Amino acid sequence: MVPSEITTEYRDGVALIRLEGEFDLTNADDVQDAVVATTAAGVVLDVTAVSYLDSSGIRAIDRGHRQLASEQRSLFIVSPPGTPSSWTFRVAGFGGDVVLETLEAALASALRTRIAS
């Protein structure tokens, strides 16, 4: 298995979580934990460097998304076209309002969320 890494930083009050490597049953809960551990109103999850994402990873992201929504917070996912995750998110039914093609677009959306709250 390819090593996986989760890093979190804050930019202008927006939480930016970057995933790298493979995410599956063995580490999916770590993704959800990272998402819900943030304190920002707007959270960006950058999966650009994810080489593999199975249904466990998708479920963990969806659970994190739902928990944030229940707290009136927002999650935006960066998944550029052509990346392994872009097809997965489309098939799983994540909409274009949540899954964005660039980090800049996701950060801008999350910043608007932060300002609105």
Q: How confident is the model at residue 32 (pLDDT cuts 50, 70, 90)?
A: very high
Total domains in the fold of the chain: 1
The answer to whether residue 116 scores a pLDDT higher than 80 is no
Which CATH number covers residue 86? 3.30.750.24
Instruction: Give the residue among 45, 55, 46 at the shortest CA–CA distance from 23.
Output: 55
Domain span at 17: 5-116
Measured between alpha carbons, how far is 43 from 91 in angstroms, rounded to an integer? Answer: 22
Question: CA angle 98-34-93, nearest 5°?
Answer: 25
Output the DSSP codes for 54-106. -HHHHHHHHHHHHHHHHTT-EEEEE--TTSHHHHHHHHHT--TTTEES-HHHH
Q: Is the pLDDT of residue 117 over 70?
A: no
pLDDT digits (tens, 9 = 90+) for 44-91: 999 999 999 999 999 999 999 999 999 999 999 999 999 989 888 988
